[in-house]
Structure 1
Amino acid sequence: MGDSIDDLSERLLAFARARDWEQFQSPKNLAMALAGEAGELLEHFQWLTEAQSADLSPEKRRAVAHELADILSYLLRLAERLDVDLIAATHEKIAINEVRYPAERVRGDARRASEYED
């Protein structure tokens, strides 16, 4: 069992195929499941202070880890179904954001790109 994204994606694909679940894992359904899991992750942080959110109990940290794993699993399945190379897409998006948010212009300021005056 490898630790690469490709290895994990292949294991998830094999898991789905062994259960004949690919028929249910359309891009639409996977995107919806991904959003649902993100909501479940948010529930663990709802009503916590900033400090509490950074200092989770071991039990809460494990539950959060499982939600993150669910999110990653659905993300990888969606990328596989749409033939998206997540590593390449992420590198491309970082390059775009480096142009949209030049460090010397936005350092310490978390506004959206459209909120900066030219």
Structure 2
Amino acid sequence: MDELTSRVRAFAEERDWQQFHTPKNLAMALAGEVGELIAEFQWLTPEHSAVVMSDPNAGSRVKAEMGDVMIYLTRLADVLGVDLIEAALTKLEDSARRYPVDQAHGSAVKR
């Protein structure tokens, strides 16, 4: 994660893009990229979406959009000083408390 963060930061600095990388702009760009990822799945059946990576063209597009999402999320975390690994682990621990296995197993009920 540290290497990716450093490389994304350097990419922005080399192009003097820090001035545009406000949290608001990065969050909006991230939302746009998530939208592009969603668009790759929009009209697929649930079955086709589960095997999308087996289609070389569709799989390549999905992978590229996931890369864009990861880059923008990484940059946003860097600008805000958020440790993404720590944030994810904390959220996972919180979710484990909210959804204990004995109550949540096999259920999609939101708590």
Deviations 1:13-67 (A, max 9, x none): 0000000001001000000000000000011101110111112211110110000
Partner of 2:61: 63
Q: Within 2, Cα distance between the matches of 1:87 and 1:45?
A: 27
Q: Please list, as runs of the form range in 1=range in 2, the aligned pairs for 1:42-81 lying within 5 A after superposition.
A: 42-56=38-52, 57-81=55-79
What TM-score, normalized by structure 2, do the two folds share? 0.96
Offset at residue 91 of structure 1 (A): 1.0
Dislocated runs of 4+, deviation >6 Å:
none
Q: Could you say what the CA RMSD is over the residues aligned between the two structures, in angstroms?
A: 0.7
Find the counterpart in structure 2 of residue 19 from structure 1: 15
Q: 1:88 aligns with which of 86, 89, 107?
A: 86
2:108 and 2:89 map into 1 onto residues whose CA distance is 21
Code of the residue aligned with 1:101 in structure 2: it is Y
5+ residue gaps, structure 2: none
Specify the SS of the correspondent of 1:63.
helix
TM-score (norm 1): 0.90
Counterpart Cα distance in 2 of 1:99 and 1:24: 38
CA distance in 2, matches of 1:89, 1:54: 28
| Aligned: 1:99 with 2:97 | yes
Partner of 2:109: 111
